[in-house]
Chains A and B, each alone.
Chain A
Amino acid sequence: AQSVAQPEDQVNVAEGNPLTVKCTYSVSGNPYLFWYVQYPNRGLQFLLKYITGDNLVKGSYGFEAEFNKSQTSFHLKKPSALVSDSALYFCAVRDSTDNQGGKLIFGQGTELSVKP
């Protein structure tokens, strides 16, 4: 069965410092991995995805993520955090061998708080 784990409910960083939001996954085949951000009372906004190729993926707003197959991880990173990055972040996975091919499986989310 597919699953995603975000081991930290909350991450606190100071503005200007690097940030990391952790994600690990479990799928039967090769994973398609996604990061989304959610601001209060809003839907999910796509940040970046890994499908194949280079393990380092760059996305919106200066975010990047590194796919690590041996550790089954896809951690989200940003070199210098902004207060406006404060939000709820979700990691999601789809199994490439899922023939029905529709659903994303989401983690429970990590609340990122960036203090000035």
Chain B
Amino acid sequence: DTGVSQDPRHKITKRGQNVTFRCDPISEHNRLYWYRQTLGQGPEFLTYFQNEAQLEKSRLLSDRFSAERPKGSFSTLEIQRTEQGDSAMYLCASSAFGGGGETQYFGPGTRLLVL
């Protein structure tokens, strides 16, 4: 077990609704990442935090998406006005900063289905 937890594991919602996912990283890790994985594809980077600072955002992260890590511990990813194209697995990962070669450890993911 990697130690990264995500909640919920599955979410079914109707188009136009808002959803929020939570990620709890490995406790001593100061970096936290969000990725999105669609069927048959590899994970795609969305955003990452070092402590509470959001340091990079992908252009995949439209204005409907927002991520926070308020106290440098857990993080939330919110999707507003969901669209069917948002259906995917949302993966969270954490790492301890180590100069670039550090390993990212992934959680089990939250599978989102937008009807």
Check A46–B105 contact: CB distance below 8 A: yes
Evaluate whether A49 and B45 lie within 8 angstroms (CB atoms) in the complex, with A42-B109, A43-B2 already known.
Answer: no
Check A106–B108 contact: CB distance below 8 A: no
How many A-B pairs fall under 8 Å by CB?
69
**Chain A contact residue count (CB 8 A cutoff):** 28
Q: Within the assembled complex, what's the spacing in Å between the Cα atoms of A57 and B18?
A: 44
Cβ of B55 to closest chain A Cβ, rounded Å: 6
Check A109–B56 contact: CB distance below 8 A: no
Q: Within the assembled complex, what's the spacing in Å between the Cα atoms of A80 and B64?
A: 47
Identity of the chain B residue whose Cβ is nearest the Cβ of A100 in the assembled complex: B56
Evaluate whether A32 and B56 lie within 8 angstroms (CB atoms) in the complex, with A43-B4, A43-B107, A44-B106 already known.
Answer: no
Interface residues of A in 1-52 (CB under 8 A from B): 4, 32, 34, 36, 41-46, 49, 51-52
Q: Within the assembled complex, what's the spacing in Å between the Cα atoms of A52 and B99?
A: 12
Chain B residues in contact with chain A, CB under 8 A?
Answer: 2, 4, 6, 31, 33, 40-45, 48, 50, 55-56, 58, 91, 93, 100-101, 103-109, 111
